[in-house]
Chains A and B, each alone.
Chain A
Amino acid sequence: MIDVSFLLIVFFALVSGISNREQAKMSLSRVREGVAARPDDDARWVLNVLPAADGASAGYALNGAIYPADADGAAGLAEALAEGYRANPRLEVNPRADRATHYRFVEPAMRAATTAARLAGGGALPRLNLVVEEQQAGKGAPTDGA
């Protein structure tokens, strides 16, 4: 029993580290139940659009690296994503953005994936999965505020 407990501790310690790196704290957009798909097991990189006050963004987080939320940051992001596409042309990019973040900060992040696919060449196609939160039945309308 003590062995199993140790194994569980190691598992949770590792998983919590990975989760923290991929999941920046934010309020995701909500969708009705049954519309969005469950995450699959394909290779994917989570691209966090870090939220800031008044719909602004504090930058983009990808694999532990932070890129500023400006043109230079988007260019750096595209370079980093291109590396991923070169390694795996079927890589999926999952943009996560706070529901209050303005579109001008989210669009460059998604655009970076398209630029990266072109930079990588080799027929890489940008596969984007918008990360949303499924509205549980009986917990209010999908458009509820944060």
Chain B
Amino acid sequence: MAREHRRMMRDPRARARVSLSITPMIDVVFQLLIYFLLTAGFMGNERHLRAEMPPEQAEGARSRGLALEAEPLVIRVTRGGGGARIALDAGLAAPRDARELEQVLRDALVAPDRPRGLFTADHPIRIVATPDVPWEDVVEVFNAVVAAGYRSVAFGGAR
């Protein structure tokens, strides 16, 4: 048996016949490649909206206050029958939905063509929602405020 094997290895024609078939391996590799391509979860059309939270002061610093800080415009979001109810401070009319909120806030913004506007783009805006409001409604309000041109938008506590 061993002699036969040695004879085969000495014979170049017999040696050429011993080869590794990689075709099945390539098939498997491609199957794996297709599997990972299909199952890999990428970001898709995920995007970011930059947000702020009111700064949390350390214990003992709460009573100091910040006299120069502008009073934020508070937007209250509550859960209504057919969606979120939006209410505004500063005597502004309550909008029916986020789209109308965007328009109200845009009209209140100081701009070259509206020098008598109520707020500058840096005026702090605080969104305060009740605990049972779906996140989607809160994001819609946030989105409307940003789209109206305000830059300092923060979330208040759930109350």
Chain A residues in contact with chain B, CB under 8 A?
2, 5-6, 8-9, 12-13, 15-16, 19-20, 23, 28-32, 35-39, 49, 55, 94, 97-104, 106-107, 110-111, 113-115, 117-118, 126-134, 136, 142-143
Contact = CB atoms under 8 A, between A and B. Distances in A.
A34 B54 CA distance: 26
Nearest to A97: B135
Contacts of A100: 134-136
The list of the 10 closest CB pairs from A to B, nearest first, reads: A12-B36, A36-B47, A104-B131, A99-B136, A129-B48, A29-B139, A16-B40, A19-B41, A130-B49, A114-B53
A110 B77 CA distance: 17
Given A132-B48, A133-B46, 6 more contacts: A6-B29, A9-B32, A30-B136, A31-B47, A118-B56, A130-B50
Contacts, number: 156
B33 A103 contact: no
A23 B43 CA distance: 8
B50 A132 contact: no
Interface in B110-147: 129-136, 138-140, 142-143, 146-147
Prevailing SS type, chain A contact patch: mixed
B134 A55 contact: yes
Given A9-B36, A12-B40, A103-B129, A133 B134 contact: no
B48 A94 contact: yes
Contact of A29 (B44, B129, B131, B136): B136
Given A5-B29, A19-B41, A114-B56, A103 B138 contact: yes
A38 B47 contact: yes
Contacts of A23: 41, 43
Nearest to B43: A39
A25 B51 CA distance: 22
B112 to A, nearest CB: 23
B131 to A, nearest CB: 3
B26, B30, B43, B77, most chain A CB atoms within 10 A: B43
A29 to B, nearest CB: 4
A104 B33 CA distance: 42
Contact of B139 (A8, A111, A132, A136): A132
Nearest to B130: A103
Contact of B58 (A35, A118, A131): A118
A37 B41 CA distance: 20
Nearest to B30: A5
Interface string B23-40: 001100110110011011
B135 A32 contact: no
B36 A130 contact: no
B66 interface: no
